[in-house]
Chains A and B, each alone.
Chain A
Amino acid sequence: MMMRRVNVRRLTLMAILTAIALIIFIIEAQIPMPIPVPGVKLGLANAVTLFALFYGAKVRGENLHNGASRMPRPINVQIPYIKHPSASSPSLTTINVFTILLCRILLGAIFTGRPIVVVYSLVGGILGFVAQIIMKRFVSSKQIWVCGAFGAVFHNIGQIVAAMVITGTPAIIMYLPILIIAGVFTGVLTGLIAQLTLSRLFS
């Protein structure tokens, strides 16, 4: 029988982040965007993904080019286990963050009532995630907005490709320029949100 030691604190953290992302996703789904282009949305739930990625990084001491302190000072935050980010805090590996993303996508598709959307979300979400983990190598923790921008752009590219394949209409690629522009702007926004949250936590 295989015995596995489960890090309960990490699991709890992941669950909380998933829940937060899910709630953001569902609320955002209720708000119609002014631009009549399929796939344009704020993607705020991605801020949680970015937060999780760089949170794990910070705890492990990565991405610290700007001379930020390696030993974070304790601050007054209500969320358990994040209160004292320190060596004993749960780290989140990339796979953990990916799990959070997957769960949020699947649950989000169920809760927003249109399961078919899950295909588009998955393709976009995974591609965007891959882009983000690649870009994370080139970026410091003060530049999460860059990561966010690339993530959003590739998320949109993924959705366009999915739409092209599913509808069998290659002409949908014409939407790409608009979606890339939207991706850059919304990606910077969500990236900044993650960045500011993180920096408050670690300063």
Chain B
Amino acid sequence: MKRISLIIIIVMLLTLLSGCAERTVQLSETRLLMDTYGTITIHGDIDPELLDDAFALIEELEGLFSMTIEGSDVWRINNSGGEAVQVDARTIELITTGLEFAELSDGMFDITIGRLSRLWDFGAAASDIASLESRVPSVLTIKEARETINSDQMNVAENTVQIVNSDAWIDLGAIAKGFIADSVAELLIDRGVSGALIDLGGDVVAVGYRQDGTVWRIALQLPFGNPGERIGVVEVSGVAVVASGIYERQFEENGIIYHHILDPTTGMPVITDIVSATIVAENALIGEGLSTIAILVGSERALERFEQVQGFIGAVLVLDSGEVLTIGDVELIV
């Protein structure tokens, strides 16, 4: 009797242990960061701490790239009074790419837009709005801010950055999330995930496949539609999907809608024929940059130039006429 019980116990233990060994788990976590909700989903033979590490990385990078956090790399550059400032290698990388985007877009995309972007407050809370007379900055302040915008005044050396014009500020807000999403993807891949989905407020990086082996499905929000309404779905693996739209952050005053993508030549929201641009690219940084650039330069230039961009895969552009254009290698499933 004792013998049999012992055998039974051993068998049970073995089954339990074998269960522990090769379990692939799917974990998902959503946190509020950089003013939007970010969700990271991972699966594979992984360490449960990995999600915490991923979010910690996001916080660390935010601490480098934020304009408003005192002491961040960007803050120090903006407040250096024209001096060269030593910064993190990743900041150098991001800024360098930002300058490349400026060239690609003939200057429409410009990271030195900081003074101008600070004038416009698109994300103001309802309580603050009530006390403002007008959310549209005055013509004079816009002109002053506009004149500080010029990517040529940036000097990027091996580990320092300098803005020659001490009045100018850089704002990495248009591309920081993309870079951060890519960094998180790198971290997750290094740590051995089988598949992951990183969604930072609309910047999505799809690593590998879903746990059931199917591709990741990403929906494209219908511009000006109800949340959840979509124009279609793209099925992806191993790429990034990023979208920008003029409806994302905007306010209305006196019957005019002011959106958040500013034209550096006028200081006002850019007049464009694109309502939303979704880019599928090799990484989220390119995706985010191109989605903003598309809106800035308009559909014609986007159609001409994007396919030559290194890392570009495809795009879906929604025009103000309602037309939906696709460029490159992307299939929109409706």
Footprint of B on A, CB under 8 Å?
A: 168-170
Contacts and interface: CB of A to CB of B under 8 A. Distances in A.
Nearest to A116: B126
Interface residues of B, number: 2
A170 B225 CA distance: 11
B237 to A, nearest CB: 31
B227 interface: yes
Nearest to B126: A116
Nearest to A168: B226
5 contacts: A168-B226, A168-B227, A169-B226, A169-B227, A170-B226
Interface string B196-239: 00000000000000000000000000000011000000000000
A187 to B, nearest CB: 31
Contacts of A169: 226-227
A29 B291 CA distance: 50
A163 to B, nearest CB: 14
A2 to B, nearest CB: 34
A85 B226 CA distance: 54
Contacts of A170: 226
Contacts of B226: 168-170
Interface in B171-205: none
Nearest to A167: B227
A173 to B, nearest CB: 12
Nearest to B229: A170
A195 to B, nearest CB: 42
A71 to B, nearest CB: 56
B318 to A, nearest CB: 19
5 smallest A-B Cβ distances: which pairs?
Answer: A168-B226, A170-B226, A168-B227, A169-B226, A169-B227
A168 B227 CA distance: 8
Nearest to A164: B226
A170 B228 CA distance: 10
Nearest to B227: A168
A64 B201 CA distance: 64
A199 to B, nearest CB: 48
A59 to B, nearest CB: 44
B230 to A, nearest CB: 14
A118 to B, nearest CB: 15
Contacts of A168: 226-227
A70 B178 CA distance: 79
A168 B225 CA distance: 9
A6 B53 CA distance: 74
A162 B19 CA distance: 52
A79 B294 CA distance: 73
A170 B226 CA distance: 8
A79 to B, nearest CB: 42
Interface string B84-123: 0000000000000000000000000000000000000000
A40 B46 CA distance: 48
A79 B321 CA distance: 66
A170 to B, nearest CB: 6
A169 B228 CA distance: 9
A169 B226 CA distance: 7
A171 to B, nearest CB: 8
A83 B227 CA distance: 57
A136 B226 CA distance: 38
A127 B226 CA distance: 25
Nearest to A171: B228
Contacts of B227: 168-169
A128 B226 CA distance: 27
A168 B224 CA distance: 11
